[in-house]
Amino acid sequence: MRHFDYKDGVMHAEDVSLARIAQEVGTPVYVYSAATLTRHFNVFAGAFEGRDVLVAYSVKANSNLAVLSLLGKLGAGADVVSGGELARALTAGIPASKIVFSGVGKKPAEMRAALKAGIRMFNVESEPELEALNAVAVDMGMRAPISFRVNPDVTAGGHEKISTGKAENKFGVAWSAAEAAYARAAELPGIEIVGVDVHIGSQIDELAPFKAAIEKVSGLIERLRAAGHSIKMFDIGGGLGIPYGSNAPAPPLPSEYGAMVKEATAHLDVQMVFEPGRMIAGNAGVLLSTVTYVKRGENRDFLIVDAAMNDLIRPALYDAYHEIEPIIAPKPTTPQKLYDVVGPVCESGDTFTKQREFPQMVSGDVIVMHSAGAYGAVQAGQYNTRPLVPEVLVSGDRYAVVRDRPLVEEILKTESVPSWL
Ligand code: LLP
């Protein structure tokens, strides 16, 4: 069931009209559906029924405190990649015991904060990081629970910029160095080995690469156990793709993914950890934008809208496709036209789509860009001094602004001109 759909000719998020949100909050604005977030989390967690699993939602996909708090109440843990994300997850009430800390460049201060909080485990990505973590833990009189993120050299992911499990990627400990890394970790007084971690990429639309990675890592787990290491947890990361648009190919369902994982890991007595991001948040959010001008070019028409690449960078960065619709359902008599949909930022890359067919539009029409709940607001910036786009959470017939649009004066206040200038 779609929680963003036309009702009486107006697109709604659950029971709230998007026209009303556009009017009351202004555009551009992100709108999330609590019911969709809930359904996605429950469907994902439900796919592992009967197994000991921790679903550590990948905070980077959508880190709004309201979203984290909702998921936390459903039982989600969190996969964080910075001290900032750690603070968000804890502030949202996610217990430290359900937090895993990933990322290639953790700094000592971030390690310290995570150790102090008592997180479940660190996913360590290199030997220098291991040594740094050991030093921090020893200094604090603690032992840091770790998995190594191993790089299984598997090809996966919808775009080269989001593929992470190939040997040439910066992520994880090289496959050939993994066993030596565990041997070193076992010697360190500040380190407690608890598991193995792998994450091969994002927007993966088939099961085969996941299966290949799980099989490879299962073999590693058996070798590590034979070498005397205690491997209690197997974190297989995130990465399950989502359909971008109604005509897009459908990636495997969470139930299919779950069945495959359960079968492929049946022989291992481990607690499974998952780090889904996009699958939970992607189709739980949209970006609303208003058409500022319809401009006639030499050989094409442009819809110049008030959202831009600084608000939703995915099309510019990954050539990503987002389905776009007017929030008022077109009449059957409305002619179809080809448009380039572009933002006001001074770059040709500030283009959401080129030469796509839409019902004819006029200035003032509001459009919705679908599948923008993951890697949308979190990747927004203030380029061209465009204030960060606000976020709204809908639940049933209620909505709340869960991140304000800053005033330009507030942005300017964070900067200063030195007195000597
Ligand atoms: N775990 C780790 C260690 C990750 O690096 C990521 C995503 C995830 C989990 C969550 O993956 P997901 O389930 O969301 O696929 N900005 C890009 C996506 C970057 C993904 C980065 N890592 C985009 O907009 O497509």
pLDDT tens per residue across span 158-186? 566 656 666 667 789 999 999 999 999 99
Same domain membership, residue 352 and residue 259: no
Mean local confidence (pLDDT), 353-381:
98
pLDDT, residue 167, reads 67
314: in domain: yes
Torsion, CA 92, CA 95, CA 101, CA 102, rounded to 10: -70
Q: What is the pTM of this model?
A: 0.96
Please work out whether the CB of residue 321 comes within 6 Å of at least one atom of ligand 1. no
Residue nearest to atom 9 of ligand 1 (CA): 238
Give the CB-side neighbour count of residue 353, counting CA atoms within 13 A. Answer: 15
pLDDT, residue 171, reads 84
Q: Look-up: residue for tokens 């022989």?
A: 267
391: in domain: yes
53: in domain: no
Residue 131 tokens, joined: 């040594």
- Best residue for ligand 1 mutational test, from 197, 278, 352, 371 (most atoms within 8 Å of Cβ): 278
Same domain membership, residue 211 and residue 189: yes
pLDDT tens profile 192-237: 999 999 999 999 999 999 999 999 999 999 999 999 999 999 999 9
Catalytic residue selected from 1, 226, 266, 346: 346
Same domain membership, residue 171 and residue 246: yes
Same domain membership, residue 321 and residue 261: no
Same domain membership, residue 235 and residue 298: no
Same domain membership, residue 253 and residue 123: yes
Same domain membership, residue 236 and residue 109: yes
For the domain that residue 254 is a member of, what is the CATH number?
A: 3.20.20.10
Please work out whether the CB of residue 58 comes within 6 Å of at least one atom of ligand 1. yes
Residue nearest to atom 6 of ligand 1 (CA): 238
| 346 part of the active site | yes
Which of these ranges, 21-25, 48-52, 235-239, has the smallest mean pLDDT? 48-52
Residue 137: which domain range? Answer: 103-274
Atom of ligand 1 nearest to the CA of 162: 19
pLDDT tens profile 300-342: 999 999 999 999 999 999 999 999 999 999 999 999 999 999 9
- Give the span between the Cα atoms of 262 and 259, in whole angstroms: 5
182: in domain: yes
C-alpha closest to that of 368 among 111, 8, 32: 32
Question: What are the backbone angles phi and psi of residue 301, rounded to the nearest 5°?
Answer: -105, 140
Output the CA 224–ligand 1 centroid distance in Å: 27
404: in domain: yes
Mean local confidence (pLDDT), 65-80:
98
Same domain membership, residue 287 and residue 269: no
Output the CA 284–ligand 1 centroid distance in Å: 16
Using the 3D structure, point to which of 274, 307, 338 is the last residue of a domain. Answer: 274
Same domain membership, residue 240 and residue 116: yes
pLDDT tens profile 245-288: 888 888 999 999 999 999 999 999 999 999 999 999 999 999 99
pLDDT tens profile 96-111: 999 999 999 999 999 9
pLDDT, residue 344, reads 98
Using the 3D structure, point to which of 274, 304, 332 is the last residue of a domain. Answer: 274
Same domain membership, residue 388 and residue 257: no
At 1, is the pLDDT very low, low, confident or very high (cuts 50, 70, 90)?
A: low
247: in domain: yes
At 2, is the pLDDT very low, low, confident or very high (cuts 50, 70, 90)?
A: confident
50: in domain: no
Give the CB-side neighbour count of residue 270, counting CA atoms within 13 A. Answer: 29
Is the Cβ–Cβ distance between 280 and 202 less than 8 Å?
no
* Residue of higher predicted confidence among 81 and 166: 81
pLDDT tens profile 108-153: 999 999 999 999 999 999 999 999 999 999 999 999 999 999 999 8
- Best residue for ligand 1 mutational test, from 57, 58, 149 (most atoms within 8 Å of Cβ): 58
What's the structural domain count of the chain? 2
pLDDT, residue 395, reads 98
Residue 304 tokens, joined: 């110049």
pLDDT, residue 164, reads 62
Please work out whether the CB of residue 371 comes within 6 Å of at least one atom of ligand 1. no
pLDDT, residue 248, reads 82
Output the CA 104–ligand 1 centroid distance in Å: 14
- Best residue for ligand 1 mutational test, from 63, 166, 202 (most atoms within 8 Å of Cβ): 202
Same domain membership, residue 186 and residue 324: no
Please work out whether the CB of residue 151 comes within 6 Å of at least one atom of ligand 1. no
* Residue of higher predicted confidence among 13 and 247: 13
pLDDT, residue 295, reads 97
98: in domain: no
For the domain that residue 311 is a member of, what is the CATH number?
A: 2.40.37.10
Using the 3D structure, point to which of 274, 300, 330 is the last residue of a domain. Answer: 274
Residue 157 has pLDDT above 70, yes or no: no
Output the CA 238–ligand 1 centroid distance in Å: 7
Give the relative orientation of helices 178-187 and 127-139 as an angle to the nearest 10 degrees: 20
Same domain membership, residue 149 and residue 251: yes
